[in-house]
Amino acid sequence: MNVNIMNVDYSTKIPNNVNLGEDRQVLKALEGWHPGYMNWWGDMGPVGFQQSLVYLRTAYSVDPRGWAKFDYVKMPEYRWGILLAPQEENRVIPFGEHYGEPAWQEVPGEHRAMLRRLIVIQGDTEPASVEQQRHLGKTAPSLYDLRNLFQVNVEEGRHLWAMVYLLQKYFGRDGREEADELLRRRSGDADSPRMLGAFNEATPDWLSFFMFTYFTDRDGKMQLHSLAQSGFDPLSRTCRFMLTEEAHHMFVGETGISRVVQRTCEAMRAAGISDPADVAKVRALGVIDLPTMQKKLNLHYSLSLDLFGSEVSTNAANAFNAGVKGRYHETQIKDDHRLENDTYPVLKLVDGKIKRVDEPALTALNMRLRDDYTQDCAKGLLRWNKIISTAGYDFKLALPNVAFHRAIGEFRDIHATPDGVLIDDTTWNKRKHEWLPSTDDGDFIASLMTPVTSPGEFAPWISPPKVGIDNKPGDFEYVKIET
Ligand SMILES: [Fe+2]
Ligand SMILES: [Fe+2]
């Protein structure tokens, strides 16, 4: 084991803590992939700002207490590296048929195809989100927010590198082919889309960006947690380090939405508005009304639920049995970690009603992870609702029922209201824009998206953050925009 595993070697073209300098074959494969990645970044990364100096953090260690250093960097010069969390000594496979056996340092032949597929699916989401967010730079509400967008973007790029390293090191020729395909697919492309639905949707404005980082990056968090439990140790270590970065992405979402809610409440109070549902009056103040935020939330939450797949899934059962993908916080769960005789309650459509039905726990793993996700999502809503109630308003943001607006799983063929009342097609078509953003809503939000580029200033629809990045003062120039 490498004793310097905590520190990152910056002497190679590709920074790493996996001894790439001595792994010539993999280093060569990665160096061969690098130009294609840079072309992709140029074509599909952030529009503009490529010559601007951005105050970014770069990982220099994988010690969770102090792993990042902050400095001005031009994005194309960001050092995308291969970083794995330290190897745990004597780690064993924490679940499934191989429970208690030593974790695998190489890919087990029998589970090779399944592992490759999971890595490719995870890998595909990383560049997809960069593509989805590429136009947002030109409408950023502040330099602080612009910097956060770019931080998220370069780290999603690094997450792609992380998956590509696994493919190239452990999967030979077909791994290299998959790595190339990851640069070929494009979010929203008719012929060659990204693999998962939510990653082909547009992220047209900054409220969508905050919702995306809150809800969709959080799906990523849940998936990474499950893969961090994997018996395939290099995957586990990779995901463990990615989670360190992912925390910031969700922070951007949670605080972003908090700041929008805060600003709207302040503006309503200042104007003496007592009914937050009086959309026209609130919009006239140049802030985003709470009902529209609820619609955006409904959209992003429901799209993100689809990422968990079907509630009942033999694929999920197989991945668990195989020791490839575990549960959220697997090692902290008090059971036999095999689930052979357990059941789990699954929401299903039974005789036209939404009911809980006990299913074998093994096939219900997607549902379980989705439930864990929903619980995690609810925490942000508590904070946002606290801001609203503290401002004196009787309005609550809420997660819609899981049957609402679904394209995958039990509820894909029916329509339901956010309260979970089943409705027919006609009613849905008549009422859907009470619950989901309409073109008008989108146009209104777009009308607010004018860029603010002076240090310390913020667009009028969002409050400043409570603290700066890296404890910088409020007027810090997070991005030196090249003119
Ligand atoms: Fe990511
Ligand atoms: Fe992320």
Q: For residue 3, is pLDDT > 50? A: no
- What's the pLDDT score for residue 14? 86
Q: Is 377 helix (H, G, I), strand (E, B) or coil?
A: helix
More confident residue, 482 or 193: 193
Query: Is the entire prediction scored with pTM above 0.85?
Result: yes
Q: What is the pLDDT of residue 443?
A: 98
Q: How far is the CA of 264 from the centre of ligand 1 (A)?
A: 30
- Which residues are registered as beta bridge partners of 102? 92
Whole-number Å distance between alpha carbons of 60 and 16: 9
Ligand in closest contact with the CA of 250: 2
Q: Extract the tokens encoding 457.
A: 């200033």
- Report pLDDT for 482: 81
Q: How large a percentage of the chain has pLDDT more than 90?
A: 93
Cα of 360 vs centre of ligand 1, distance in Å, is 31
Residue 7: predicted pLDDT: 76
> Distance, CA 126 to ligand 1 centroid (Å)?
5
pLDDT band, residue 5 (cuts 50/70/90): low
Q: Worst-scoring range by mean pLDDT, 68-72, 98-102, 297-301?
A: 68-72
CA-closest candidate to residue 45, choices 136, 125, 119, 124: 136
How do residues 178-236 score in pLDDT, each as one tens digit?
999 999 999 999 999 999 999 999 999 999 999 999 999 999 999 999 999 999 999 99
Determine which of 289-303, 319-333, 341-355 has the lowest per-residue pLDDT on average. Answer: 341-355
Helix 112-132 to helix 24-44 angle (10° resolution) is 30
Distance CA(73)–CA(76), nearest Å, equals 8
Sequence-separated (6 or more) residues with CB below 8 Å from residue 316: 309, 325, 362, 363, 365, 366
Residue with the bigger pLDDT between 153 and 10: it is 153
Q: Report whether 228 contacts 243 (CB < 8 A).
A: yes
Distance CA 115, CA 401 (A): 32
Quickly state the pLDDT bin for 452 (edges 50, 70, 90).
Answer: very high
CA of 127 to the centre of ligand 1 (A): 8
Q: Please tell me the distance from the alpha carbon of residue 54 to that of residue 68, in angstroms, as a whole number.
A: 15
Q: Tell me the residues surrounding ligand 1 (ion) with CB < 5 Å.
A: 126, 156, 159
* CA gap 269, 393 in Å, rounded: 9
pLDDT value of residue 2: 43
Cα-to-centroid distance, 217 and ligand 2 (Å): 5
